Amino acid sequence: MDSFKQFQELISNINIDPVIAIGVIVIIATFIIEFVLVSKGYLNFGNSKKKLDKAVKLNHQIKAKRISYYDDDVTGTQVDSWYHAKYEYTLNNKKKIYRYLSRKQPPLILNLYYVNNPRKVFHYEDKKSSILDLLIYIIPFALGILIINLLK
């Protein structure tokens, strides 16, 4: 608690409300944590192209053949249904199954990739930047505002 008092004293000399200063520190810390998580690959905010480029550079590409698929839409009238498919591929002389889920109809042959771990294969769909990519900017500010409101 003594360090908190010293922090309050320092901030009061600068004429900033200590609660606001803590909120700003939380925002900055959250940005730093997100940056580390995105750069290590734990969060995927728009960097799937980098992951694909790395897999191609390492020549970690696999061709998988579709063995079955179905559509969630059983009535034939729903336009936003999901396609489910199973693909079979061979890696290290072992047959494996990859499960596909997308709004696009699954192709007969699917290119699969992996970076370091062959058990973690992925397929690449060129996606436009979505609203979810904005979360990397919204989360720190929302967290900072929440902390400010909780401390007041």
For strand 83-91 and strand 94-102, is the pairing parallel, antiparallel, or unpaired? antiparallel
Q: What would the pLDDT profile of 19-30 be if each residue is shown by its tens digit?
A: 888 888 999 999
- At 90 the three-state DSSP class reads strand
Here the tokens at position 143 are 């967290």
Q: What would the pLDDT profile of 109-150 be if each residue is shown by its tens digit?
A: 999 998 888 888 888 775 555 666 677 788 888 988 888 888
Q: How far is CA 8 from CA 3, 11, 12, 23, 30, in A?
A: 9, 5, 6, 13, 21
Say what the alpha-carbon torsion angle 132, 138, 140, 102 is, to the nearest 10 degrees: -10
Tell if the pTM clears 0.85, that is, is over it.
no
Tell me how long the chain is.
Answer: 152
